[in-house]
């Protein structure tokens, strides 16, 4: 039998140690014996529940791109027009990265209490990886591709331990969101029947039960009438949106719901007892426990006006409600659906849904956030409703889709941020030292770390191949690659003929510079990308496990060839400059089926432009921040490829450094730059 007195003293002693984590049994025992008669002690407990609220981290944001929406679907772009546009001091921002780190960075940079509205649509606790599409159109055919884990599901280990993992992910993030909300702010959490009851309990704990406002019920899709058959369960018809305020200062402005209501008479009796409102009326008194809706004076005035009468059949009082074409919206949103499919996402939310939420709980001066960006519906609607917004996502696919959507929408200029030294911060988040990180990535690739060279290893399958892991906070340059190749030829007294480079990112002109420097390179250089799947293994990799090499793919760096820019027209002190993408090659094709892969490769040989999903141009790149001044976006519903030539109007009399960025249909990106002197 458990000695509860001794047990509780042990708990108190262990709690003095900040590393102590109370088990479910310990907490249940302590609460049951110490607080049996206390009020409101019920809360959600699971074994790995975080004991401390995440603290703000002194992280910096690095602007990766400034976007001036000016898509190729419109007229000829002008560098002169974009020069006149300016980014405000507090711009709308799209931030790529883990939202736990991003929110900690926002707190450390003065955003505490600044958001009037947060809407989130976190991964539902279904255990299925369907957050991102994994099919791609090439020409007039669809192909299924093997996306990286992190591109199909924003948080790769969300389901590793079932519900516990899901709650571990969500709980600390909700704590940070509370701090980011203003006192008049509100949060809406979109969930389904698998997780809503768990989320409700932890939100009661974090935001307070008194700040719970509504559980909004919204129809998932239009009614689906199926043939009569035996099924294991009923169709799932609704989602749930948990609506909490930060404090009593928040006042919702309910939207108007269009209805058609005729004139009608309604019972004058209401539930509950109210003093002085149980008087006799038309020979009747309210039933026990009920009262009349109005005071005697108001009732007598309504009788005189003809708006209160005895029911013709029963004689009981009833009052008149005139016809109307609208009513204040309640928490049942059955007249709209939650989902839309305009961007090709299976869980994409409908703009009408976000419009209701944003209009109800914010004003035009408000700052709105969505930390699970997805296809960017919140940002798109907030932009249209003239709210300021910040949206984030761990998936590059989500960032790419949202950027394209806002460009199509002709949004005001916005910025795309990364966390400074992002990969290094993630490594620190997982408490992995730099040498351990090198070892893990080399092991995942199938190589063994050398003791004498940081980040350098030898392939396990080809002893004549060196493998180098680039540092996590800087792009790989062609000059560095050439230095490594020369080093490889002299290493160990015999030299290595092959060098594989594994990099998080590559310098803008890596391909062009490497081509120019190729005469001094004798070792074969194979340039590959470190996929974001690696983050999943930072804590769990068992060094030396040969099966790990089958779990992750290091894809070849895409190759882009850009034409030399040329002046195609001149008028006065202005000129029109043209630049083209001459070639784009993806070395590793992620299409699953081998036969389908061959079919896709044949289509791409016919026209490489089928590969390009989005590309943009900075007509005056400063080598620091890419300014997207012109964009060409593939029409996802069309079989036609994107255009590959861009024209722009610039001032004559100086040199321009023209940079391009390409995002392909598989989610890869590549870049290049060219210079032209416009005389």
Most confident by average pLDDT, 123-127, 334-338, 650-654: 650-654
Quick: pLDDT tens for 512-539: 788 888 776 677 899 998 876 676 665 5
**How many CA atoms are closer than 13 Å to the CA of 441, on its beta-carbon side?**
32
Predicted model pTM: 0.77
**Tokens encoding 10:** 């042990």
pLDDT above 70 covers what percent of the chain? Answer: 77
**How many CA atoms are closer than 13 Å to the CA of 300, on its beta-carbon side?**
6
C-alpha angle 428-402-79 in degrees, rounded to nearest 5: 105
Lowest-pLDDT choice from 76-90, 154-168, 637-651? 76-90
C-alpha span between 138 and 142 (Å, rounded): 6
Please count the other Cβ atoms lying within 10 Å of the Cβ belonging to residue 556.
15
Quick: pLDDT tens for 583-618: 988 877 767 666 777 777 777 777 888 888 889 999
Burial status of residue 374 (CB atoms within 10 A of its CB: 0-12, 13-18, 19 or more): buried
Quick: pLDDT tens for 349-393: 889 999 999 999 999 989 999 999 988 999 999 999 999 999 998
Q: Domains (ranges, CATH) in the chain?
A: 4-34 (no CATH), 61-127+162-252+330-424 (3.40.50.150), 263-322 (no CATH), 432-538 (3.40.1340), 559-678 (2.60.40)
Quick one: which of 669, 550, 556 has its CA closest to 611? 669
pLDDT above 90 covers what percent of the chain? Answer: 39
294 backbone dihedrals φ, ψ, rounded to 5°:
-120, 165
- For the chain, what is the mean pLDDT? 81
C-alpha span between 406 and 409 (Å, rounded): 5
Token pair 């007195």: residue: 5
Query: Between residues 505 and 359, which one has the greater pLDDT?
Result: 359
Lowest-pLDDT choice from 395-399, 577-581, 603-607, 668-672? 603-607
Average pLDDT estimate for 653-662: 93
Average pLDDT estimate for 185-205: 93
Give the 3-state secondary structure of 468-507: EECCCCCCECHHHHHHHHHHHHHHHHCCCCEEEEEECCEC
Helix (H) or strand (E) holding 631: strand 630-633
Instruction: Enumerate residues 6+ apart whose C-beta is below 8 A from 474.
Output: none
pLDDT at 126: 45
Query: Between residues 425 and 269, which one has the greater pLDDT?
Result: 269
Quick: pLDDT tens for 45-101: 888 888 888 888 877 888 889 999 875 544 334 444 555 466 777 899 999 888 998
């Amino acid at each position: 039998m458990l000695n509860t007195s001794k047990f509780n003293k042990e708990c108190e002693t262990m709690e003095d140690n900040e590393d102590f984590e109370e088990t479910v049994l310990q907490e249940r025992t302590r609460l049951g014996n110490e607080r049996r008669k206390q009020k409101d002690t019920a809360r959600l407990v699971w074994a790995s529940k975080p004991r401390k609220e995440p603290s703000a981290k002194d992280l910096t944001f690095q602007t990766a791109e400034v976007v001036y929406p000016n898509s190729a679907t419109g007229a000829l772009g002008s560098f002169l027009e974009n020069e006149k546009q300016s980014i405000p001091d507090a711009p709308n921002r799209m931030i790529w990265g883990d939202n736990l780190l991003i929110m900690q960075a926002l707190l450390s940079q003065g955003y505490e209490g600044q958001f009037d509205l947060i809407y989130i649509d976190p991964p539902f606790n279904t255990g299925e990886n369907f957050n991102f599409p994994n099919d791609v159109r090439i020409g007039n055919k669809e192909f299924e591709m093997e996306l990286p884990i992190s591109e199909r599901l924003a948080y790769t280990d969300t389901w590793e331990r079932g519900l516990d993992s899901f709650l571990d992910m969500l709980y600390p993030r909700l704590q940070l969101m509370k701090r980011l909300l203003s006192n008049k702010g509100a949060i809406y959490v979109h969930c389904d029947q698998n997780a809503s009851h768990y989320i409700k309990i932890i939100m009661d704990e974090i935001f307070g039960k008194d700040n719970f406002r509504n559980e909004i019920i919204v129809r998932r899709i239009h009614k689906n009438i199926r043939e009569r058959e035996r099924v294991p369960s009923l169709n799932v018809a609704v989602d749930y949106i948990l609506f909490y305020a930060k404090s009593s200062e928040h006042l919702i402005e309910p939207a108007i719901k269009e209805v058609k209501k005729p004139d009608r008479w309604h019972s004058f009796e209401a539930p509950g007892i109210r003093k002085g409102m149980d008087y006799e009326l038309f020979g009747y008194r309210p039933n026990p426990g009920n009262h009349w809706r109005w005071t005697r004076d108001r009732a007598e005035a309504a009788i005189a006006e003809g708006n209160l009468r005895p029911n013709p059949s029963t004689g009981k009082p009833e009052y008149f409600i005139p016809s109307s074409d609208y009513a204040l919206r309640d928490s049942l949103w059955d007249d709209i659906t939650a989902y839309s499919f305009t961007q090709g996402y299976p869980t994409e939310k409908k703009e009408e849904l976000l419009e209701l939420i944003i209009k109800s709980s914010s004003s035009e001066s408000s700052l709105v956030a969505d930390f699970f960006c997805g296809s960017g519906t919140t940002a798109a609607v907030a932009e249209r409703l003239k709210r300021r917004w910040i949206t984030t996502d761990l998936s590059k696919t989500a960032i790419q889709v949202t950027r394209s959507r806002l460009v199509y929408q002709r949004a005001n200029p916005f910025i795309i941020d990364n966390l400074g030294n992002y990969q290094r911060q993630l490594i620190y988040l997982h408490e992995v030292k730099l040498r351990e990180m090198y070892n893990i990535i080399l092991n995942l690739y199938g190589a063994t770390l050398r003791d004498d060279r940081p980040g350098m290893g030898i392939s396990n399958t080809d002893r004549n191949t060196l493998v180098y892991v680039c540092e996590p906070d800087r792009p790989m340059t062609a000059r560095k690659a050439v230095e490594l190749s020369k080093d490889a030829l002299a290493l160990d007294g015999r030299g290595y003929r092959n060098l594989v480079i594994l990099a998080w990112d590559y310098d803008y002109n890596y391909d062009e510079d490497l081509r120019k420097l190729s005469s001094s390179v004798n070792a074969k250089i194979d340039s590959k990308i470190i996929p974001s799947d690696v983050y999943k293994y930072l804590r769990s990799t068992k060094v030396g496990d040969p099966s790990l090499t089958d779990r992750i793919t290091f894809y070849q760096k895409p190759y882009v060839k850009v034409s030399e820019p040329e002046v195609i027209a001149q008028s006065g002190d202005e000129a029109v400059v043209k630049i083209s993408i001459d070639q784009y090659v993806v070395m590793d094709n992620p299409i699953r089926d081998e036969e389908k892969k061959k079919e896709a490769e044949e289509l791409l040989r016919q026209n490489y432009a089928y590969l390009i999903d989005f590309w943009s141009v900075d007509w005056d790149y400063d080598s620091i921040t890419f300014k997207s001044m012109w964009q060409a976006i593939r029409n996802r519903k069309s079989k036609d490829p994107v255009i590959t030539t861009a024209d722009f109007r610039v001032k004559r009399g100086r040199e321009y450094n023209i940079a391009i960025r390409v995002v392909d249909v598989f989610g890869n990106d590549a870049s290049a730059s060219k210079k032209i002197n416009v005389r």
